[in-house]
Amino acid sequence: MKTTAYCLCLFCLLSGLSAAAQTSQKRTFGQWFQKTFTEIDTTYIDENKYNLAFMLEQSFWGENYHFTAKTGSKGKQSISFAPDITPKIGFYFGWRWIFLGMAFNTSDLFGKNKEEASKKEFVVNLYSSRFGVDLYYRKTGSDFHISSYSNFNIPEDYIGQKFQGFKSVIKGVNTYWIFNNRKFSYPAAYSQSTNQRVSCGSFMAGMSYTYHDIQFDYTKLPQAMIPNVDASLKFEDLEYRDISLSFGYGYNWVFAKNCLFNLSLMPAIAYKKTKINGVPTHSSTNWSSWMDDINFDLVTRAGLTWNNSKYFVGATLLINTYGYSNDKLTMYDSFGSLRIYAGFNFWKKRQYRDTSTRK
């Protein structure tokens, strides 16, 4: 009996110590998580007092592709293509820093451009206090036109003419980490889930992966241009995978009560593995040949908002720019969106409801 009692007491003691250790561990993890991901300095940032939000948005989506032949006999020959700007209208419901909703192409809603192949776009932007994620998928339609060109030695002006020989697919993920999240709020500028009260900035670092597939049929250019096209521009398919590391800076400027302007730039150094017409551009076994695939990218964000905690209105601009270069060809492609929005927050959080009730 005594032995059993001693064993039972010892078991209870060890169980108590284990439970205490687990509780301490949970508290430690909870404290670390709160400090790392949610803690803010209330001198600089006000937490959103509401659980949910509703927003209406008018957006404009665009992209541009610029190609330059480096070795042309007539100098550096270049040509650019861009589709028509795509206007969209949408509505969104938000929970804290997550917005979900739908956006519709206004041309499709009103029955315009039915003869053209439709675009496909899927974009998710997540802005939290410590980190952010961009997911995107874009497939172009058939509404491209020639936006610029040089060194073709032709008398006529073909800028603005439609071009049916261009298609592109882009998909990828971009992540970034905000170092000074206690005083600098990205959500204040881009998801209206907090309010920046004092101007502040932060360094940021990130990484991304992007896949590009560009198809180009130069024989569909205007007849006067075709004989002058440099050999470097006569590719049919350019495919590359882009892995990049970025480092940049963002700044929130509180220029008036409830008014905020944000600008952030994140240059990136990128490794691009490329195929032109299915053939790798660098097949050399030289150990240093990988350096030929190093290029540079850039992510630019700008936001302007007025937010009094209950109601908000503003605009945001997001542009992704990618660069590619080899010994014969240079390419820059960019895509982005301009969003104009207005909305309101509702369903006040319990702690703020209780406080207002006591007052």
Confidence (pLDDT) at 221: 94
| pLDDT range class, residue 44, cuts 50, 70, 90 | very high
Q: Could you tell me the CA-to-CA distances from 262 to 99, 140, 199, 201, 267 in Å, in that order?
A: 19, 30, 10, 9, 17
- Residue 300 in 3-state DSSP? strand
* pLDDT for the residue numbered 288: 56
Whole-angstrom Cα distance, residue 14 to residue 58? 62
What confidence score (pLDDT) does residue 350 get? 85
Of 20 and 255, more confident: 255
Residue 3 dihedral angles phi and psi, to the nearest 5°: -60, -45
What is the model's pTM?
0.83
Across the chain, mean pLDDT equals 83
The average pLDDT across 163-183 equals 93
pLDDT in the model for residue 26: 53
In whole angstroms, give the CA distance from residue 4 to residue 21: 25
Q: 253: pLDDT confidence band, cut at 50, 70 and 90? A: very high
The Cβ-side half-sphere exposure at 267, using a 13 Å CA radius, reads: 3
Residues 6+ apart with CB under 8 A from 287: none
pLDDT tens for residues 188-244? 999 888 899 999 999 999 999 999 999 999 999 999 999 989 988 999 999 999 999
Q: How far apart are CA 159 and CA 65, in angstroms?
A: 14
User: Residue ranges of the domains in the chain?
Assistant: 1-39, 48-358
CB 249, CB 255: distance < 8 Å: no
* Mean pLDDT value of segment 235-259: 95
For the stretch 73-116, pLDDT in tens is 656 899 999 998 889 999 988 876 677 778 888 776 666 555 55
Which CATH fold would you assign to the domain 48-358? Lipocalin (2.40.128)
pLDDT tens profile 292-345: 788 899 999 999 999 998 999 999 999 999 988 887 889 999 999 999 999 999
User: Measuring CA to CA, which residue among 302, 303, 183, 311 is closest to residue 258?
Assistant: 311
* Res. 28: pLDDT tops 80: no
DSSP string, 252-281: EEEEETTEEEEEEEEEEEEEEEEEETTEES
